[in-house]
Each structure stands twice: as C-alpha cells, then as structure tokens.
Amino acid sequence: MNTNNNNKPPKYNGIITGESESKPPTYDGNASKEECIPPMLDSNSTGKESKPNKGGKTFRNTVITVLVIFAITQLILFFFITSKSCTRTHKTSSGVVYSIPQSIDTIKNDTTSLPYRGYAAVIVPEMPISMDFCGEKVDFDRIDMAERLDRELTSTIYNHTQTSLIIKRANRFFPTLIKILSENDVPEDLVYLAVAESSLDVTAVSPAKAAGVWQLMPGTGKEYELEINEYVDERFNIENATVAACNYLKKAYSKYGNWAAACSSYNAGMGRVSSELERQQVDNAFDLRLVSETSRYIFRILAYKIFLSNPKQFGYRIDVNQLYQPIEYDVEEVNTTVDSWITWAKEHEITYAQLREANPWIRSDHLPNDSGKVYKVKVPKQDSLYRSKAGNKVFNHNWVVD
C-alpha cells in the first residue's frame, strides 16, 4: 500500500533541510538540539548565520605585526652596537686613543681611565727575571721558580675584593709597621709578610687560633712576652705584636742566615724547616719540598711586594679619598682596675665601640689590674673620626690615580 510521506518532517542528518534558509532545521529524536546546531549558527538566533568579528581579527593581526617589527628592530640594533663596540675608538683623559679591545700595553700606559665599551681587559702579569727581597736577590730564571711566583701573583691581582682592601688598609698601617720594623733592625720588606698573614686585618683570627695582623699563635705570643688572657690579648696590639714578630724573625735569621728561610719558618716553624733542610740536603728554602701552604707562602709574600709596589700596572684605579687614613690618637696610661670600659670611654668622649676599635687588644668590658701594670690606651682624636676633617695622606703615590 502506498503511503504519503509528504506530511512527515524530514530527518536531520547534519544537513539543514527545508524550503528556505530562514526556516529552522528539524531534528531526529537521537540527537540533542545543541549537537545539531551547525558551527556558524547562533543557538540564540532564529537560524541566521553569525558573522565573524572582523574588527577583533584586524586588531590581533596589527598587534602581531607590531611585535614582529619591534623584535626585528631590536636584533638589528643589537648587532649594530656589538659591531661598533669592537671598533669604536675612545680618547682617554690622558690623550690616549685606542679601539676596543685594547692591547695590554695601552692599558698599562693609560693610568687614568678604563675601557669605554666591550669586554674587560685581562692583564696577565709578566714575570721578572729577578727581584730584591730584604736585600737578597731572588732569581726567577728557573722555570719552577717563575711559575710558582706566577701562580701567586695572578691569584693576588685577581682577588679584587681583598687586594683593594689591602691597598686601603696599607695606607693606614704601613707607616706604623715599617717604622717599628726599622727600629728593630728588620728589613722593611717583611711588612709584606704581615700582608700575607692577615691582609692587614688587625682583628683577624685563623681557625688555628692565630690572631692579629701578624697571626701569632697563643704559645708564640707568650714566648715573646705578650699578655694573652680573657681580658687582654696583645696579639691584637699592633705595636706590641710587631715587636714580637721582629724578635721571632731576627732569631730565625740568625739560625738560617737568609730572610727567605726565616719567612718560611714563620709559617712552618723553625723545627720543621731545619729538619727538612737537613733531610732534603739543600741549603735554600726555595728548594724545599714542603706542604703546599708553606711552599706557596714565601712566593705569596714576594707577590704582594710586586703588587703593592705599583697596583696601577695591574689595572687598579683608586682615588686618594678612597684610602683609609691613619688615625691620630691621644694615649692614656691606665695602671689600675677598670670596672667598666663603657664608662671609661664615655668619660673620654668616645663610644665604647670606638674604644674597642682603637684598642682591639681589649677583650672584655672590664679590666682587673691588681699588679698595677701600665696599659697604653688609645683615644682617637675627634678630627680623625670624620672624613671631612681627617685630610688625605698618601703613603705611596703608586697606589692612587694622580
């Protein structure tokens, strides 16, 4: 029997049907209405096709274009600057004109300015053929001697934090140290031993309990008549400790007959140096095979002498006002018990902190003194406490930029 299907709605199989696009589609019973809406139809509309947002697409394309142009511009600028920094000439305040990178000779000769652009110049120190130390010639023609000095000198000049501080501290302490060395008939070059020991930090204490600018051990300090207890530690008294160090070094020199061996014994002890000289059958401390620290020790002292003779040749630029100025003091003699150094400091118009900094040998806030021993206590003069009043004294003009 023929059945008329014209009155039945057509099934929806993913294709919109109907006589007109304005008519909504029909759906079968197996699909939800949302699943059957074509991508370009709005579910809230009556079947009209949604138009794409042309304004938003245009804005997005514009932003992308701007970003691409900006990135390309930055790359071009980067390569332009990089290429220029390698060839740009720079006229220094001393009239020297050079291109980047500079030659080592140019840097050494120009003592007033630094490279304008580009990489920092690396200066490799030249090894001397020989040098004088304590009036004795030290020869570096032998390869091992030159390389051992090279290691210490290179390590020294590129330890910028410590060496910069050493130059500044030397301006304050070298006048006192060298004066005492001279008064005790000890070569002035031995001041560099103090530099190697403590970097001129008067409050330095090693893990082995060596203390002060000369890093004296407690037993050695007492042997050379320094007072060391919980109230007083004269290893931190720069004057007394320097005298003790002089006495030790003079004794070592009388034993070995040369200052290099005396310096080695300061690090390793006279007993060790004497036994090794005999065991290894040599008469020169430079020829000894010792532990690394002692073997390097004497070369470190030599390196500090080379470096501090003229830091500018290694690229150091320090202005006069950056040096630490010597402090001027009034000296008070104390031969009684001090119940409170805090009160004592206040009575002398300084702070307790300033008292302890000027007298690091004071190790407590009070001092029992039943024996009546005389202690010389430094009281900083007021003008020395202020940069605006202290002035600018320079011990060695090779340390600063003219």
Residue-level pLDDT at 65: 87
φ/ψ of residue 130, rounded to 5: -160, 170
- At residue 17 the predicted structure's pLDDT band, cuts being 50, 70 and 90, is very low
Residue 94 in this model has a pLDDT that exceeds 80: no
Q: What is the pLDDT of residue 62?
A: 83
The pTM assigned to this predicted structure is: 0.72
Indicate whether 242 pLDDT > 70. Answer: yes
**pLDDT digits over 325-377, tens only?**
999 999 999 999 999 999 999 999 999 999 999 999 999 999 999 999 999 99
Q: Which of 284, 281, 300 is nearest to 292 (CA)?
A: 300
Alpha-carbon gap, residue 395 to 344, rounded angstroms = 33
- How confident is the model at residue 101, as a pLDDT? 42
- For position 60, what pLDDT does the model report? 80
Considering the domain 155-322 in this protein, what is its CATH number? 1.10.530.10
Q: How many Å apart are CA 214 and CA 272, to the nearest integer?
A: 20
Give the model's pLDDT for residue 83: 52
pLDDT category at 45 given cuts 50, 70, 90 is very low
Closest by Cα among 288, 194, 296 to 249:
194
- The sign of the CA dihedral 243, 249, 252, 254 is negative
Asked if residue 267 has pLDDT above 70, the reply is: yes
Q: What percent of the chain is modeled with pLDDT above 90?
A: 67
pLDDT at 52: 52
What are the CB-based long-range contacts (under 8 Å, 24+) for 56-62? none
Asked if residue 14 lies in contact with residue 36, where contact means CB atoms within 8 angstroms, the answer is yes
Mean pLDDT over residues 270-280, rounded? Answer: 96
Q: What is the mean pLDDT of the chain?
A: 83
- The Cα 47–Cα 34 span in angstroms is 13
pLDDT over 50 (residue 116)? no
- Overall average pLDDT of the 231-252 stretch: 98
Q: Which residue has the tokens 């302490």?
A: 173
Token duo for residue 177: 């140290």
pLDDT band at residue 27 using 50, 70 and 90 as cut-offs: very low
Query: Can you give the pLDDT at residue 212?
Result: 98
Is pLDDT above 60 for 302? yes
Contacts of 267 (CB under 8 A, 6+ apart): 293, 294, 297
Mean pLDDT along residues 148-156: 96
Structure tokens at 9: 């709605």
Cβ-Cβ contacts under 8 Å for 294 (sequence gap 6 or more): 264, 267, 268, 272
Average of per-residue pLDDT across 167-193: 98
Residue 386's pLDDT is what?
Answer: 94
Examine residue 207 and say whether the peptide bond preceding it is cis (omega within 30 degrees of 0): no
Could you tell me the pLDDT band of residue 40, with boundaries at 50, 70 and 90?
very low
Question: So what's the pLDDT on residue 76?
Answer: 82
**Res 152: pLDDT:** 97
Position 99 confidence tier, pLDDT thresholds 50, 70, 90: very low
CA distances from 53 to 33, 60, 281, 308 (A): 25, 11, 96, 75
pLDDT at 140 over 70: yes
CA distances from 221 to 141, 306, 314, 402 (A): 38, 29, 37, 41
Residue with tokens 């020294």: 156
